[in-house]
Structure 1
């Protein structure tokens, strides 16, 4: 009896201790999901690098050829396929089935499906290190059986659809379609701190056209307003990771007023972003507007390599030397400058000097052309796609320098410096931890308002034993047309700016986080 009472007391104590982290509800009609936070660690980054190398062929194919796979919209494949959950820092808990089986998930606005490991996952080691859904243990389980597969940047999952009740905080979504993952290859999901993903994007990008959890919350009348919001706690000294609020906005999570912008394309939470500024000065890259998405499942702030390289140069972040980039400057630098001055169409310059092909309307890399050639039975000329990409970046950099009335030699020197700042194959660039106070602020224009990030906010400290390594929060990610080029504002941005996802009015709002 004594042992039983002690066990019961310990269980009750543990329940009371963890309860505030799991969920809370209040009389304001809002439903709060407590988010747990973990620090970035070097071991996770190493595992991510291994999986990234293994998946490079897949991602290259998806990026360049835009193969549709099993996603709802083929154009959306590339972004999901480039997602890297290895560095994800914020997690929450849900329950599936009756009684609820608990799972730790990433609440991801950059995807739309819910998936967790299945008890029928026999041959993936990752499944043995995470909670698994047991259909036989749930009285509300409904068989579906339709197959499903999702490719991510550092891993892939496949399995089949099932239906069951899903408990998110105090909300119970009935008959929710979700994926039971039976295959989770690679290291990413093996060492991950989460069991699965709960997507909060639009149904347009849902694998199998499954109705997202959030849609069912609204359709089943579980929330008073079709709005959810994220508050991330970026204070490294506090254990509380933040809150995801369903049904509205918690005024304690932000300061001032939100700046709202309309969703421009359903699928991701996509909107139009304006100019990017360094120390208050325009870079000119997005002066005419750029597409961007708010993505809670991405830890960094991602953008086109061309622009990220300039940002990393401005903040002194070091990457790797690109031999292709240096070769372009040495062999074709003066020719490119003269072509720009001669008012040649910038998108045609690289094809004119033989480094890219041209399809009549815009420059395309030989990688894309080779796919077209294969489809029509022609042979590719074998021009290096890396050289084409390097040339296209060089043209953009030189255009910007000419607008600033720089001399030819100044431009060549500057572009050579940028070549040395190109991000590593992992998209990361190192920053001197001791020099943060000397770095510039970087700002993004959204809805006519400037949203500023300080060095302390955009530089991440990664645990590496007893010391910390600093990496730039800006990472390169190239999304091809028609969806790209695209900026992805992940946790680096959302941690500083409370973000509202207004499904009812199809808009996104940003305000300074409290």
Structure 2
């Protein structure tokens, strides 16, 4: 799901996973703590009870800074294996799988990036289970494996991830090595793994996307009030991170999504995508434009001097209005201001609210209650 350099639209149907309460382990830990024996127990039994210690001694919130690459991609470095091997990954709420290139991949796209070598990891476990993913632009295939994954000071043992054996040429010039899917999926996704292991203070994560190179953040296990103002508005999730949009307004008039529509909150898409008919109605409503074709995208250009005269585009979600200013829904390119609304290369049946929208609104992805929260970003 990426736009321009990063347009993917892989959407996997999600299945709600049952949260395992792990009451026995919590009671055991509580008893040790009450008797002031927890610390000595952890030191003495580290080798035989590693998962117990890992699961409950680090429960809380974990922050991961992200880099912004030209407003197209938000990525960060993670580590896989023992000793850890570093990888730059795209943090993507629009997909659910974690994968990185492997030494078994001989394609040009793999050779231009870091490749995971399972032979150098003492904790790697092979599964021989194949998988493949097709995105809106680009595809890959590989095999699943299990290993330790570390993000900042958050460590997950026996995390399932993909080792690519084939990658399409599209990934050759990507700034990132692989993709970390933050959406729920049919297989055990990253966020569901954190939940099952009881690592998070709350079964949620939140995202702040900055327009600057630095300053963006993913917070696993909670929120940070310094990244938003006002109240958080909660919205029920249909499936994955899809929500219902009531309508789209320009100058207080419904111009698209008149009977309601669905939208995916997707950190892996740089623009705002949607059905051709809906996108065309938005383009017409904001003013006269010149149609251009960039790569496989269908977009529009504006005279930058007209931005002050152009209207806001307002998304009504669960009864609340979320406006995008002309400065928010356009970007400068070769002296022209190009629209951030696009129908992409195919006719979508839903909206994709990508980074263009999420830079304006701090987003909370509450897996435990199947809802998302939106608040005005600072």
Q: Which one has a larger percent strand, Structure 1 or Structure 2? A: 2
Does residue 296 of the first structure (1) align with residue 267 of the second (2)? yes
Q: Match for residue 341 of structure 2?
A: 474
Q: Distance in 1 between the 2:359 and 2:145 partners?
A: 34
1:498 paired residue number? 362
**2:77 alignment partner, SS class:** strand
- Unaligned regions of 5+ residues in structure 1, if any? 1-26, 41-87, 321-421
Give per-residue Cα distances to partners, 1:339-363, cap 9 Å, x unaligned: xxxxxxxxxxxxxxxxxxxxxxxxx
How far the C-alpha of 1:424 sits from its partner, in A, is 8.9
Larger Rg: 1
Structure 2 distance, partners of 1:472, 1:286, is 19
Distance in 2 of aligned mates of 1:440 and 1:163: 50
Alignment root-mean-square deviation, CA: 2.0
- 2:195 counterpart of 1:212: no
Post-superposition offset of 1:213: 1.1
Given candidates 35, 55, 65, the residue that maps to 2:66 is: 35
For residue 112 of structure 2, the aligned residue among 111, 122, 129 is 129
**Which residue of structure 2 aligns with residue 239 of structure 1?**
213
Q: How far is 1:427 from its partner? A: 2.1
- Return the match for 1:107 from 76, 87, 91: 91
Does the aligned pair in 1 maintain the 2:142–2:166 contact within 8 Å? yes
Structure 1 residues 317 and 239, CA gap change in structure 2 (3 angstroms) = same
Which protein has the bigger helix share?
1
Shift of 1:241: 4.2
Which residue does the alignment assign to 1:259? 233
SS at match of 1:308: helix
Structure 2 distance, partners of 1:162, 1:28, is 25
The 1-side partners of 2:210 and 2:371 are apart by 23
Name the residue aligned to 2:177: 195
In the alignment, the residues of structure 2 paired with residue 432 and residue 491 of structure 1 have an alpha-carbon distance, to the nearest angstrom, of 23
Cα distance in 2 between the residues matched to 1:245 and 1:198 = 14
Pick from 485, 489, 492 the counterpart of residue 353 of structure 2: 489
TM norm structure 2: 0.80
Residues 468 and 173 of structure 1: CA distance in aligned 2, closer, same or farther (over 3 Å) = farther
Residues 15-414 of structure 1 aligned to structure 2 (within 5 Å): 29-39=60-70, 88-122=72-106, 124-186=107-169, 188-204=170-186, 209=187, 211-234=188-211, 238-264=212-238, 266=239, 268-283=240-255, 285-315=256-286, 316-319=288-291
Distance in 2 of aligned mates of 1:28 and 1:165: 17
Q: Tell me whether 211-220 or 285-294 shows the greater mean CA deviation.
A: 285-294
Q: Deviations over 1:227-263 (max 9, x none)?
A: 10000112xxx43141000000001111011111101
Distance in 1 of aligned mates of 2:236 and 2:243 = 6
Kept in 1, the 8 Å contact 2:147–2:160? The answer is yes
Partner of 1:435: 306
Secondary structure in 2 matching 1:427: strand
TM-score (norm 1): 0.60
